[in-house]
Amino acid sequence: NAGVTQTPKFRILKIGQSMTLQCTQDMNHNYMYWYRQDPGMGLKLIYYSVGAGITDKGEVPNGYNVSRSTTEDFPLRLELAAPSQTSVYFCASTLSRGQGGNEQFFGPGTRLTVL
């Protein structure tokens, strides 16, 4: 299994541009997540999905959109890039198993700079 893959690894955007960060997992996980991590800080949840066709907001959803048309893919869309969105973005997935806890598998991250 490749696990969780993210593309691109790096990207520089100009203010006002838009882009889509791609995330794919091949573990047949039903739950997927997008986090951002600013320098020296912990991760903050942007959006998550509990299955195809179902998404919900996390802590910091403003300026982002997501969709989940398949189990494998969970793209994150930035419509009007702003300098405040300069960050490292991590995608994660997990398989819900009811009670008992579970681990999240993280991708390698996308480093985004908005100038």
Distance CA 74, CA 89 (A): 13
- Interface residues with other proteins (CB under 8 A) are 4, 31, 33, 35, 40-45, 48, 50, 58-59, 88, 90, 92, 94, 96-109
Are 75 and 66 in contact, with CB atoms under 8 Å apart? yes
* Separation in Å, CA 15 to CA 63, 71, 74, 95: 13, 32, 24, 37
Least distance (Å) from other proteins to the CB of residue 31? 5
- The nearer residue to other proteins, 31 or 78, going by C-beta atoms, is 31
Output 17 or 58, the one with its CB closest to other proteins. Answer: 58
Q: Which two tokens stand for residue 44?
A: 């903050």
Of the pair 7, 18, the CB lying nearest other proteins is at: 7
